[in-house]
Amino acid sequence: MKYLKLTIVIILLICPLSYAQQIRIDSLKTLLEKDKEDTSKVGHLNMIAQLISPNNPDKAIELSNEALKLADKIRWEIGIYQSMYQIGVAHFNAHNSNEAINFFFKALQGYEKLEKQNDKNIISIVKEKKAKIFGNIGSAYQDLGNFPLALKFQFKAVESFIQNNDSNFLAGTYGNIGILCREQGNYPLSLDYYFKALDIKEK
C-alpha cells in the first residue's frame, strides 16, 4: 500500500511539470510562427529543442540544425554556437556521445573565440556557456567509459562554476564527480563529493 501511495505522489508531481512544459512548448511554437528570419527565431528554435531533447532528440537535432543555418545566414555568432551546443545535447540524449563531444568542442571553440574579443556585453554569457559545455563534455566522456577525461572536464566545470558564482550547477557537478569516483571504486572520495553537493544544496 505504501508503494502505491508513493507511486501516486510521483505521478502527481510529474504530471503538472509535464503539462507546464507542454504549455511552454506550445507558446514557443506560437511565437515561432510569427518570427521573422532573425535572432528571435534562432532563439525560439533552440528553446524548443532544449525542451523536447530528452524525449525526442531527433526532432531537437532537426530544430537546432535549422537554427544553426539561420544563425549562420544572419551571421549571429552566439546563435551559431548555442545551436551547436544544443545539437550536442540532443546527440548525447540520443546516446551518440562521440557526436555530442564533436559538437560540444565546436561550440566551445566558438565561445572561446568570442571571449577573446573581451566584449563586456557578452562576456558573462560566454563564461556561463563554457562552464556548462565543460560539464557536458565530462558527462559524454563518462558515458563512453573514459573516466580520466570525464574527471578532467568535470573539474574544469567546477572551476568555471566557482568563478561564475553558480552554486546550483556547482552542486550538480560535485554530484557528477561523486558518481565518477564511485564508478571507479573510490567510495570515500565519492562520499566527499556527495557531501560537497549536499552542503551547497542545504545553504
Question: Does 86 share its domain with 150?
Answer: no
Total tally of structural domains belonging to the chain: 2
Per-residue pLDDT tens digits of the chain, which is 203 residues long:
433 433 443 334 444 446 677 778 878 878 878 878 899 999 999 999 999 999 999 999 999 999 999 999 999 999 999 999 999 999 999 999 999 999 999 999 999 999 888 777 888 889 999 999 999 999 999 999 999 999 999 999 999 999 999 998 999 999 999 999 999 999 999 999 998 898 888 87
Domain boundary among 95, 116, 139: 95
Model confidence pLDDT, tens digit, residues 119-171:
778 888 899 999 999 999 999 999 999 999 999 999 999 999 999 999 989 99
Is 32 part of any domain? yes
* Radius of gyration of the chain from its Cα atoms, rounded to whole angstroms: 19
Instruction: State which residues form the domain around 157.
Output: 127-203
Question: Does 74 share its domain with 8?
Answer: yes
